[in-house]
A and B are shown apart, each in its own frame.
Chain A
Amino acid sequence: MWRTVARRLVIMIPQILLLSILVFLMAKAMPGDALTGLLDPSIDPAAMDAQRVRLGLNNPWHVQYWDWITQAVQGDFGQSFRFKMPVSDLIGQRMMNTVWLSLATLILTYLIAIPLGITSGRFNDTWADRLITGYTYIGFAAPLFIFALLMLWVFGFHFGWFPTGGSVEPGTEPGTVQYVASKIYHLLLPAISMALITTVTTVQYLRSEIIDTKQKDFIITARAKGASEARVYNRHILRNSLLPIAAFFGYEITGLIGGTIFIENIFSYPGMGQLFLSSISLRDFSVVTSLVLLYGAASIIGALISDITLSIVDPRIRIK
């Protein structure tokens, strides 16, 4: 067990290293450097060169890489020239919004997936199963951004049930009940839109898991011993099928990141995804590279958590 964890951790080191090199190369390929964000472009070129030398921007690339990575590890991601503030502060402001959105989506994903998957798997080939399978078929093919746009159009604009942008009603005091309620209200439509699409793979997985487990010998044994239908499902089948799903949540992080970029853009929700897109269009590259680094690291750590939990849940897949 501990050997698996240790091995998995060792695999992560080159991954993080590779990610940082990729992001560094990307940053170098982008027009402008750290200095463009700090100074007025109309300044004397000679003074600019002196600053370049002082900041080490004329050093060989491996020296620059080392400086950059040691600073990033300490939480110093440079300056945003658009907001004239440290990137880490800027990201800190937006981070919680995206975390709430992702969390709400994850919870809704499981809330939708588990009952649908169980119904579909337990009563397979009935009309309910056909309905659910049809939904997963469409949800699997539908691109998230189109589905989210349609949801916004129908429920945000046409019916006016939900707010069409922002993360909170302007003018509400942080800390009050109204503030929290308004936050949840603004969160609901984006999170439902995303969850309805991300949930389909889990529904499909759960359905085929249950149908598979249903025919296994130990279920036949349980039935033969007189276990009630409810007990067979709750104690024997679900315990087998639900655990892997709980462990998948780490892998979901990569998907959630892609999703929040679209969702935050469509619902004008001020999170990191929106910050990423607006920074790219305004060429605020220190923010862009920091966000890619952050998101990449989050995905790698998510996969790590999932791999480790899965190896605890299912010893057969431990790394040899």
Chain B
Amino acid sequence: MDKAPIPISSAKQPTAKQPNKSPSGWKIIWREIVRDKVAFISLIFLCLVILSVFGISLVLDQEQIVSVDLFSLKQPPSEQFWLGTDYGGRDVFGQLIIGTRNSLSIGIIVTVLTGLIGVLVGLVSGYFGGTVDNIFMRFVDFFMILPTLMIVIAFVTAVPKYSIVSFSLIMTAFLWMGIARLIRSKALQEKEMDYVQASRTLGSSNLKIMLVQVLPNLSSIIIVTMTLNLAANIGLESGLSFLGFGFPESTPSLGTLVSYATDPQTLESRWWIWLPASLLILVLMLSINNVGQALKRATDARQRKG
């Protein structure tokens, strides 16, 4: 087991007896990210993208950007339209900004929701073990095997009143299993530790042990998995939107911009419509992954760089 993510609470305790107190979890994470130049640049890039996208989209008028303008169809990049316009005369740059905002938001929402469900199921399953665990895990195994993409697409079309809320709920419903399985295996190891036995002997309730004692010890793993999941979820959302089963066209996302490339003419000769969005997805996912990998190293002392 990794001893690296020393629970934050223990690091705060006065350590008069040990002059070399070990650094807190957050300090280790920060140090690891700063040491790893790629991850550090990625983090700065991510912060810049998030700030500028949310900042600029406050100024932009979504209604105006997604409304059709017949006087400026399919224009190449110019001073008025930095990245040209699409077949409806809509400003591609504005769509890119709003699309990035939408893709990031839905990625974060789905990641948080799947994280909550996955951690809860995994914790209960791993902590109690036995029949509960067996049933949960058979269920999780089953859903992990299924071709999730197809089923999500089928459900998206089957839902009568389709909206962003139902889209995120459908995605969540089929994506919490991975994190549940991971947390379960970690909780299974954790519950054999002496501190859990001690706490149980002292008469702590199962609920208290799970949430107050075991959960903080898993926090670093949860953060790492959720970071890596965020990248995967943004990829999945843009993939679904690309196929036409994510956001509707009136709500641009990075995937809807890329989906213009399914028209061979656009793909061949109007790269400014789809290429920026594609590269942005690529770079965003790479950066989030880089940060996630640095976090992963921070939680595993053997892999650390510094």
Contact = CB atoms under 8 A, between A and B. Distances in A.
A280 B149 CA distance: 13
B278 interface: yes
Contacts of A111: none
Contact of A258 (B148, B268, B281): B148
A247 B55 CA distance: 50
A299 interface: yes
Contact of A29 (B146, B158, B262): B158
Interface string A252-274: 00100110011001100000000
Nearest to A301: B145
Nearest to B155: A26
A296 B146 contact: yes
Interface string B243-262: 11100000000000010011
Interface in A1-47: 11, 14-15, 18-19, 22, 26, 29-31
B146 A254 contact: yes
Interface in B127-165: 138, 142, 145-151, 153-155, 157-160
Nearest to A257: B147
A234 B154 CA distance: 47
B239 A145 contact: yes
Nearest to A152: B267
A99 interface: no
Interface of B is mostly: helix
Contacts of B272: none
A91 interface: no
A296 B243 contact: no
A289 B147 CA distance: 13
Contact of B268 (A14, A31, A153, A296): A153
B238 interface: yes
A142 interface: yes
Contacts, number: 112
Given A11-B138, A296-B147, A146 B258 contact: yes
Nearest to A255: B147
Contacts of B146: 19, 254, 296, 299
Contacts of B286: 137-138, 141-142
Given A26-B158, A142-B282, A277-B243, A258 B149 contact: yes
Given A141-B231, A141-B285, A153-B268, A292 B154 contact: yes
A143 B145 contact: no
Interface residues of A, number: 48
Interface string B187-214: 0000000000000000000000000000
Interface string A288-303: 1101100110011011
A302 B189 CA distance: 30
A266 B155 CA distance: 22
A201 B28 CA distance: 28
Nearest to B264: A164
* Residue in A11, A153, A300 whose Cβ sees the most chain B Cβ within 10 Å: A153
A26 B174 CA distance: 14
Contacts of B25: none
A143 B239 contact: yes
B267 A261 contact: no
A281 B154 contact: no
A32 B14 CA distance: 68
B150 A157 contact: no
A143 B147 contact: no
Nearest to B292: A141
Contact of B285 (A143, A291, A292): A143
A149 interface: yes
A30 B158 CA distance: 5
Contacts of A157: 264, 267-268
A261 B154 contact: no
A115 B125 CA distance: 40
Contact of B145 (A30, A254, A280, A289): A254
Contacts of A138: 286
14 contacts: A14-B138, A29-B155, A141-B231, A141-B286, A141-B288, A141-B289, A164-B264, A257-B149, A276-B153, A292-B154, A296-B146, A299-B147, A300-B145, A302-B145
Interface of A: 11, 14-15, 18-19, 22, 26, 29-31, 137-138, 140-146, 149-150, 152-153, 157, 164-165, 254, 257-258, 261-262, 265-266, 276-277, 280-281, 283, 288-289, 291-292, 295-296, 299-300, 302-303
- Closest 3 pairs (CB-CB, A-B): A143-B235, A29-B158, A258-B149
Given A150-B278, A289-B154, A303-B145, 4 more contacts: A146-B282, A152-B267, A258-B148, A265-B243
